[in-house]
Structure formats: structure tokens, C-alpha cells
């Protein structure tokens, strides 16, 4: 099999994956801040991390994947300014920060489930690690930090090549943080934020620097080291993290390990999902979250497919048309595979006839996760004629395990979601469709036309002769 090559943001190059512990792949993904629902852009980051994990397993590695839950410490600005997002959400809603974290963590996990994102080996919840964070901060405080009234700050000049990941020195000063007075360097950042005198926070802990809360960057360094050991193999996150959050994690890792190593061999970043309609902003009323897609009758796995059609390093533009097209593409695969499942069971091993398909699939995913090509190879296999059905099914199962649609159990009925705006029941529509079949048998075309008009008026688009056999669809 071809070697797995991944794009390392550190070197801006493709590099062969060489695990630190033979046969194992240890991966840490920055998780969500649970002060609100996730938007589907956020979910792209987890579909990407999940695909990476699935590819690593396909390539034979024993995967240990950690995703964290940020339930404290992330400020409204990535610079050290603004409120803690959790405290702010609590103040606005009248609920406790703890309840808010619990609620949105559950919602996030529900979205992951819808998208077939595999459970990580462990969820690390930031507030569970605060004592470890304090110990970690103590161990680097003397050599690398200084105290201001507002907190304990990391001095970025104390580590080698600060900001190399962001290319901060060469690319128009990205990665700079400059909002707190008294800092030695613009890019210095808080690792402990003291609660201002006279205030109390819902989430605060005692520390050698006074009552307060950990900085967001500190959390990921501590949790990744605690669960995966230092250094580990791959660290993932969205491309925004390449500029501030990950350079700061690297600085802490280097300080704590007394080493120039960044802490992870490969740093990988997914590009953004963008929406020209501005519906990705959580502060702008209705925003693009998975439930909105579901509410309009689009199965979340159509969104997964939409993500996989693009390369994870490319920007992806969201549109409802694009999502609709992805749903049709998914339906075709689901129907092809369901038919096959009705005829055969997966064979123990596929024959030679499939070797070139498997090789092309493996080459594609090994080339920095080229899922767009892998998808077309899977579709070619689904469309193959005059081959052994059991062998074909086995190959589909293996490819599907990497792309993560669940084709071995998914049926077309699962994909048909009812838009919340629709008032008709499915039974009513199915009965109408059966009635249309009778009318057609009687060649009663005027009645057929009237029936179609009735259904259209009620928001049902009748698709007589639809090649997918879909019959009808509710308009969103």
C-alpha cells in the first residue's frame, strides 16, 4: 500500500506519516466552545478530523483520538480581551455556565452522531483538568511567564521561533495579540486570568496567582500532554487556529518539555466553510446549524458528503443547491447499495477484479485525504456490472468505513426527512401516490393532473418516473 502523506502546516509541505509509537496514531483535535450550538462550519472541522481518523485506521494504525470540550477559558476575542464566552452566555440566558456547557455539549454530540463522526477514545472536558493546568503553569511560570494585575502571561521571546506555524514574522504580523496593557511583547498571552478585584465568576479556581480561570491555550497543551504524552503524532483544528491558538500551544509545549519540538509531529488545519449569506455567524439570529438543515428536509449525511466532495484544505462555499445535489448523489449510492444488500452478503475477500479500484481508493486517501477522488472510486464500484455481488459488497463496505456514510445499513427511507414546515403526513402522501398509480392504470389523465395540482398546493412535489424511484419530495 502507498504511504500516507499529510500536509503539515508547520512546514507547509506534504510529509510521510511516521508514527512516534510504531503502529499507533495519536491525534488531538481542538474541540468546541460549548456556549451555543455549533454551526455547520464548526462541524466541518470534526468531519475532517473523523475522516483523518478513519484513514489512519484504514492504513492499519491503531488510532487514539482525543477531542476536548472547552467549557471555560475561551474569550470573545482571540486576543486576551473580552469576556469568557461561557460567562457571557450565562449572563445573557440566566442559566449557570455549568448548565449551558452541559446542554450545548449534548447538542454537539447529537450533531456528531447525525454526521457519523466516530466517538473519540476520550472527551477531555477542560474544567476537569484545572488542577493539572495549575501544576503545568507552575512548572513554566519562573522561566517563561510574568505576572500582571490581570493574570499570568507567557513571554513568547523565551521559546525558539515563536509563531513559526503562523508564519507571523513574515506574513503581515498575523498571530499578534495586543489588547492588554503592560505586556512585554504584543504576542504574549494569558495562561491564567485573574478574576478582577471585587468580581466573582461562576467558574473560578484558587491558584498561586489568585482566584481565576485558565487561559484557553493552556487547556489544550495540558489535555493533549496528559492523554497522549509528549510529543504525539497529529494535532488538528480549523485554519483560524493556525494563527494564534496553535502557535501559543506550541510555545507552552516547548516551555514545558524544555525542547524545541512543537509537541506534535504534524499540525493539520481544515479550511473554512463559508456562507455568502452571512448565516454562519452565531450572533446573527437564525444561523446555519445542522438542525436547520434537518428542519428543511436535508439529511445531515448529505452535508458530510458535501464536505468530502471538497478537499479539506480548500474553502468550501455553502449553498442549498449544493446541499441538494449532495443529497441526490448520496441517494443514488444508498439505493444502489441497498439493492445489492438485498441480493447478497459481503464476501470474505474481494477478487482480483477489484484490485485496481482498491488501489486507486487507497492512493487517493493516502494523498493528504483526497476524499473527492475516493468518492468517485466508490461510486464506480457501486455502478460495476457483471461482478460477484458479495465481493462487490465487501469492497463497498471497506470504502464506506473510510468515508463514513453507513451504506451497509442506510436505507433510502432514512434519508427522507420531513421539513418542519410541511403539514402533510407521510401516510397521506403515500396514499395519494398509490391512488395516482391507480389513476394512471385507468389512464385517467385529467384526474391525475388534478391530483398533482392538489399535492403541489400542499407542498408536495410529485416526481412521476423519477429515475431514483423517489416518487415525491416535500418542498422545503
* Residue 372: partners with Cβ closer than 8 Å, 6 or more residues away: 308, 309, 310, 311
Q: What angle (nearest 5°) sits at the alpha carbon of residue 61, between those of residues 240 and 31?
A: 25
- Select the residue whose beta carbon is closest to ligand AMP and give its number: 238
Kindly tell me which of 44 and 59 has the beta carbon lying closer to ligand AMP.
Answer: 44
* Sequence-ordered strand ranges (E) for 165-284: 189-194, 212-214, 232-238, 264-270, 273-274
* Residue 419: partners with Cβ closer than 8 Å, 6 or more residues away: 295, 296, 297, 459, 474, 475, 476
Distance, in Å, from the CA atom of 102 to the CA atom of 214, rounded to the nearest integer, reads: 19
Task: Report if residue 45 touches ligand AMP, rule: CB under 6 A.
Answer: yes
- Sheet containing 232-238, strands listed edge to edge, beginning at the edge strand earlier in sequence: 122-125, 62-69, 24-29, 232-238, 264-270
Task: Report if residue 191 touches Zn ion, rule: CB under 5 A.
Answer: no
Task: Name the one range near Zn ion by CB under 5 A: 5-13, 160-168, 219-227, 289-297.
Answer: 219-227
| Shortest distance in whole angstroms from residue 240 CB to ligand AMP | 5
Q: Which entry of Zn ion, ligand AMP, none binds 41, CB below 5 to 8 A by partner kind?
A: ligand AMP
Kindly tell me which of 36 and 254 has the beta carbon lying closer to ligand AMP.
Answer: 36
Please choose, from the candidates 375, 406, 315, the residue with its C-alpha nearest in 3D space to the C-alpha of residue 115. 406
Task: Report if residue 30 touches Zn ion, rule: CB under 5 A.
Answer: yes
Kindly tell me which of 275 and 400 has the beta carbon lying closer to ligand AMP.
Answer: 275
| Shortest distance in whole angstroms from residue 41 CB to ligand AMP | 2
Q: Which entry of Zn ion, ligand AMP, none binds 350, CB below 5 to 8 A by partner kind?
A: none
Beta 145-148 vs 122-125: how paired, if at all? Answer: unpaired
| Shortest distance in whole angstroms from residue 30 CB to Zn ion | 3
* Residue 327: partners with Cβ closer than 8 Å, 6 or more residues away: 298, 299, 302, 305, 415
State the cell numbers at 340. Answer: 445489492
Kindly tell me which of 313 and 418 has the beta carbon lying closer to ligand AMP.
Answer: 313
| Shortest distance in whole angstroms from residue 239 CB to ligand AMP | 7
| Shortest distance in whole angstroms from residue 18 CB to Zn ion | 23
Task: Report if residue 241 touches ligand AMP, rule: CB under 6 A.
Answer: yes
* Residue 174: partners with Cβ closer than 8 Å, 6 or more residues away: 166, 167, 168, 243
Interface pattern 272-301 for ligand AMP (x via CB under 6 A): xx------x---------------------
Kindly tell me which of 111 and 400 has the beta carbon lying closer to ligand AMP.
Answer: 111
Q: Which entry of Zn ion, ligand AMP, none binds 42, CB below 5 to 8 A by partner kind?
A: ligand AMP
| Shortest distance in whole angstroms from residue 419 CB to ligand AMP | 25
Identify the bridge partners of residue 64 per DSSP, sorted by sequence position: 26
Task: Name the one range near ligand AMP by CB under 6 A: 39-47, 96-104, 324-332, 450-458.
Answer: 39-47
Please choose, from the candidates 114, 406, 159, 407, the residue with its C-alpha nearest in 3D space to the C-alpha of residue 262. 159
Task: Report if residue 235 touches ligand AMP, rule: CB under 6 A.
Answer: no
Please choose, from the candidates 252, 190, 240, the residue with its C-alpha nearest in 3D space to the C-alpha of residue 215. 190
| Shortest distance in whole angstroms from residue 241 CB to ligand AMP | 5
Contact 53, 27 (CB under 8 A): yes
Identify the bridge partners of residue 460 per DSSP, sorted by sequence position: 474
| Shortest distance in whole angstroms from residue 396 CB to Zn ion | 36
Beta 232-238 vs 212-214: how paired, if at all? Answer: unpaired
Task: Name the one range near Zn ion by CB under 5 A: 24-32, 41-49, 126-134, 329-337.
Answer: 24-32
Task: Report if residue 83 touches ligand AMP, rule: CB under 6 A.
Answer: no
Q: Of 16-35, which residues contact ligand AMP (CB under 6 A)?
A: 30, 32-33
Sign of CA dihedral 225, 144, 165, 160: negative
Q: What is the largest CA-CA distance in the chain?
A: 89
Q: Which entry of ligand AMP, Zn ion, none binds 220, CB below 5 to 8 A by partner kind?
A: Zn ion
Site residues (vs Zn ion, CB under 5 A): 30, 220
- Binding residues for ligand AMP, rule: CB under 6 A, are 30, 32-33, 41-42, 44-45, 237-238, 240-241, 270, 272-273, 280
Amino acid at each position: 500500500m502507498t504511504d500516507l502523506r499529510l500536509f503539515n502546516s508547520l512546514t507547509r509541505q506534504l510529509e510521510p506519516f511516521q508514527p512516534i509509537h510504531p503502529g499507533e496514531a495519536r491525534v488531538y483535535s481542538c474541540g468546541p466552545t460549548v456556549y451555543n450550538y455549533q454551526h455547520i462550519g464548526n462541524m466541518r472541522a470534526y468531519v475532517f478530523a473523523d475522516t483523518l481518523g478513519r484513514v489512519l485506521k484504514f492504513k492499519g494504525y491503531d488510532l487514539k483520538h482525543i477531542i476536548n470540550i472547552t467549557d471555560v477559558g475561551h474569550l470573545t476575542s482571540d486576543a486576551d480581551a473580552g469576556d469568557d464566552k461561557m460567562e457571557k452566555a450565562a449572563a445573557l440566558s440566566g442559566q449557570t455556565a455549568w448548565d449551558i456547557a452541559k446542554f450545548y455539549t449534548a447538542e454537539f454530540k447529537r450533531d456528531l452522531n447525525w454526521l457519523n463522526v466516530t466517538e473519540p477514545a476520550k472527551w477531555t472536558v477542560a474544567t476537569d483538568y484545572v488542577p493539572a493546568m495549575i501544576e503545568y503553569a507552575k512548572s513554566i511560570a519562573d522561566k517563561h511567564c510574568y505576572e500582571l494585575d490581570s493574570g499570568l502571561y507567557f513571554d513568547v521571546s523565551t521559546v525558539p521561533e515563536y509563531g513559526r506555524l503562523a508564519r507571523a514574522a513574515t506574513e503581515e504580523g498575523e498571530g499578534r495579540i495586543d489588547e492588554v496593557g503592560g505586556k512585554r511583547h504584543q504576542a504574549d498571552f494569558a495562561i491564567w486570568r485573574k478574576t478582577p478585584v471585587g468580581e466573582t465568576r461562576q467558574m473560578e479556581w484558587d491558584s498561586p496567582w489568585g482566584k481565576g480561570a485558565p487561559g484557553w491555550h493552556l487547556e489544550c497543551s495540558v489535555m493533549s500532554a496528559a492523554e497522549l504524552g509528549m510529543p504525539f503524532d497529529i494535532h488538528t483544528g480549523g485554519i483560524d487556529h493556525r494563527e494564534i491558538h496553535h502557535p501559543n500551544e506550541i510555545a507552552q509545549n516547548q516551555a514545558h518539555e524544555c525542547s524545541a519540538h512543537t509537541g506534535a509531529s504534524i499540525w493539520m488545519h481544515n479550511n473554512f466553510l463559508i456562507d455568502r449569506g452571512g448565516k454562519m455567524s452565531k450572533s446573527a439570529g437564525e444561523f446555519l446549524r445542522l438542525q436547520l438543515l434537518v428542519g428543511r428536509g436535508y439529511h445531515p449525511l448529505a452535508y458530510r458528503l458535501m464536505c468530502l466532495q471538497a478537499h479539506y484544505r480548500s474553502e468550501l462555499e455553502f449553498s442549498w443547491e449544493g446541499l441538494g445535489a449532495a443529497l441526490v448523489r448520496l441517494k443514488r449510492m444508498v439505493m444502489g447499495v441497498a439493492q445489492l444488500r438485498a441480493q447478497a452478503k459481503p464476501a470474505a475477500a474481494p477478487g482480483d477484479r477489484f484490485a485496481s479500484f482498491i488501489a486507486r481508493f487507497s492512493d487517493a486517501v493516502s494523498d493528504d485525504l483526497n476524499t473527492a477522488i475516493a468518492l468517485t472510486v466508490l461510486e464506480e464500484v457501486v455502478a460495476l456490472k457483471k461482478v460477484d455481488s458479495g465481493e462487490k459488497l465487501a469492497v463497498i463496505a471497506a470504502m464506506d468505513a473510510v468515508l463514513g456514510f453507513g451504506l451497509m445499513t442506510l436505507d433510502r427511507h432514512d434519508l427522507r426527512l420531513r421539513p418542519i414546515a410541511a403539514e402533510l403526513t407521510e401516510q397521506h402522501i403515500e396514499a395519494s401516490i398509490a391512488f395516482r398509480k391507480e389513476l394512471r392504470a385507468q389512464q385517467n389523465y385529467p384526474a391525475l393532473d388534478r391530483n398533482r395540482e392538489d399535492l403541489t398546493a400542499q407542498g408536495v412535489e410529485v416526481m412521476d418516473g423519477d429515475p431514483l424511484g423517489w416518487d415525491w419530495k416535500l418542498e422545503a
